[in-house]
Amino acid sequence: MDIDTSIGQLFFLGFRGAFPVDDSAIVTDIATRNLGGVVLFDTFVSGRPQDSNIVDPDQLQKLSTFLQSMADTPLFIAVDQEGGKVRRLKEHHGFRSLPSARELGEKDPQESFYQASLTAGQLAACGINCNFAPVADIDLTPSNPIIGALGRSFSSNVDVVTAHCEAWLDGLHSGGVLGCLKHFPGHGSSTADSHTGFVDISSSWQQRELEPYSRLFATGKVSALMLGHLFNTRLDRHHPASLSEKVIDGLLRQQMHFDGLVITDDLQMRAITDHYGLDEAVVLALGAGADQIILGNNLAYEADILTRMITAVRNGLDSGRLTETRLRETLERIARIKGEVL
């Protein structure tokens, strides 16, 4: 495996538009820079309504087919389709409604399996093979602006969260879609939103927020999880989870024995960019053991961002801050998971 030509596999990238042309930046990134995955949005904070990637099921299927046709290595095509207030495929685009996690948490887990399997069928029909769901956060702070207040958690009860997350993973898998637990090590107790700034959970975080993950890892059904940009001095006194070797390599890999994909939340969120800068954050995340990095191009847009990030990774290798051994392990893990699910 040639690391130099495989660096693009380390990234998920957002892009604008529903019908990219052959010479667009995203097509060039896929065809010549070996991009690992794309993430689709129906709304861009920094853009216009016409920048949406999602118009209707027919358009989305054509878009996915076109993007895959440009890729030498199968492409992750991902979306956030949790249900409730966080879903990119909405009814006015011609997609079915999907209850929130909170609504499903009040029912039998079989209902979560049913909803997830229907969701998987719809995603797969549109060429989407990765869903950044379900949310494994425990609802410990109901006023939490990004989890509790949006109904994104199944429950404040660990057993309920675990059962519904397992049902969701089973339902997505039944339709050939990769599920991704989030937001490790637990966003449910926070009182702030990492999209808009620094989130310190040192005083609010509880050890039991790890329990859904440890129980689900034991089932062998978790192939991917997403790291939150969550600062917790009890886990790492210097870095948030998404950039922390103590959290990723230490807690996740060595203590919890997780060998699936570790994906960062969008590194363009202000919790990261306000404190590190993107180039530095990418090197820190990969050096800490993250496998893939999301650059949503949503909060801020940079058409040629992948070129800059590839340079940052190469500079990290040249300086010794990143090692070929680490990146080779990461690339082999990405190839293994893609081989299992794509």
Task: List residues with catalytic annotation.
Answer: 195, 265
Secondary structure of the chain in HEC code, one letter for each residue: CCHHHHHHHHEEECCCCCCCCCCCHHHHHHHHHCCCEEECCCCCCCCCHHHCCCCCHHHHHHHHHHHHHCCCCCCEEEECEEECCEECCCHHHCCCCCCCHHHHHCCCHHHHHHHHHHHHHHHHHCCCCEECCCECCCCCCCCCCCCHHHCCCCCCCHHHHHHHHHHHHHHHHHCCCEECEEEECCCCCCCCCCCCCCCECCCCCCHHHHHHHHHHHHHCCCCEEEECCCECCCCCCCCCHHHCHHHHHHHHHHHCCCCCEEEECCCCCHHHHCCCCHHHHHHHHHHHCCCEEEECCCCCCCCCHHHHHHHHHHHHHHHCCCCHHHHHHHHHHHHHHHHHHC
